[in-house]
Amino acid sequence: MEHFFEYGQKETVWLKSRDKKLSAVIDQVGPIYRKIIPDLFAALVHSIVGQQISTKAQETVWQRFRQTCQDLSPHGILSMEDEELQSIGISFRKVNYIKRAAEKIGNGEFDIDALRDMDDAEVARQLSSLDGIGRWSAEMLMLFSMQRPNILSFDDLAIQRGLRMVYR
């Protein structure tokens, strides 16, 4: 079952009232249906897979990953060979990041579910303690897994390009 980021008329009206150019873009584009991954561990792995590659490349690798990995849990990831993960397009470094995160989450050293009860700054701080997770990845998890509406990733290249197009 697919899940989408939830927002409504109230949020749209508020955004439109703040800026004429943004309002025009919202009217032109219409509603956006952005898929989310409610499972925090799956979203973490998805975020690592997508670092510094295009959205299209990320989705291709993610589809291969989902076909290959039957158990998307820390235990399931740790049971896979590094070479198997690399063969579907995940770099050596990213495989290491994913495996280290799976170890810490699997052995209880990192409580991923506790993130839901933390404020944004603490979530970012905690996630950044994992190898390979920086501010961008933390923001992507807060947006597209935890559905936190007040996150705007200024370091995201797609957002920067979009803002340049609107405000040139």
Residue boundaries of the structural domains of the chain: 3-35, 40-144
**Beta-bridge partners for 35:** 4
Instruction: Tell me the pTM.
Output: 0.86
**CB contact at 8 A, 101 and 93:** no
Distances (CA, A) of 3 to 34, 92, 94, 106: 8, 30, 26, 25
What are the pLDDT digits (tens) for 119-145?
Answer: 999 999 999 999 999 998 999 899 999
State what percent of residues in the chain have pLDDT above 90.
Answer: 81
pLDDT in tens, 99-122: 999 999 999 999 999 999 999 999
Task: Looking at the structure, give the CATH architecture of the domain made up of residues 40-144.
Answer: Orthogonal Bundle (1.10)
- Give, in order, the Cα–Cα distances in Å from 39 to each of 95, 112, 145: 19, 10, 7
